[in-house]
Amino acid sequence: MPDDKPAPSPPTRPAAKPDDGQGAVVAERQSARVEPPRMYQVVLLNDDYTPMEFVVMVLQEHFQRDFETATQIMLKIHHEGRGVCGIYTKDVASTKVETVLAAAKRSGHPLQCIMEAA
């Protein structure tokens, strides 16, 4: 039994009023300038007890340095008392310091690792 009702028509919108500029708001687009994050350098400090081989191993494993670069950084630490292992964002640098200190403690070495603003 078919219905003889006509299909409902879509709702109609009221006619738009012409814009006379009254009450219009214009927002200026301001470009947001995002500064890059501050960088921190991870520094190993010299001591008289940690073997040079362990320092080279730390540089290779935790800072992805090849053997020759790790050896050069280790010698700089040995002769100058400190050496920069890498420059990272704050979170990454903090994590690197913690992992190096944990590795030194596990191995029974007093190796010190710090981070400084670059």
- 97-116 pLDDT, tens digit per residue, is 999 999 999 999 999 999 99
Domain regions of the chain by residue span: 49-117
State residue 23's pLDDT score.
Answer: 66
Could you tell me which CATH number the domain at 49-117 has?
3.30.1390.10
pLDDT digit string (tens) for 27-39? 777 778 899 999 9
Tokens 């001591």 sit on residue: 47
Q: How far apart are CA 53 and CA 58, in angstroms?
A: 9
CA angle at 78 for the pair 42 and 86, rounded to the nearest 5°: 20
Single pTM value for the model? 0.72
Are the C-beta atoms of 27 and 86 separated by less than 8 Å? no
Are the C-beta atoms of 45 and 114 separated by less than 8 Å? yes
Q: How far apart are CA 30 and CA 21, in angstroms?
A: 23
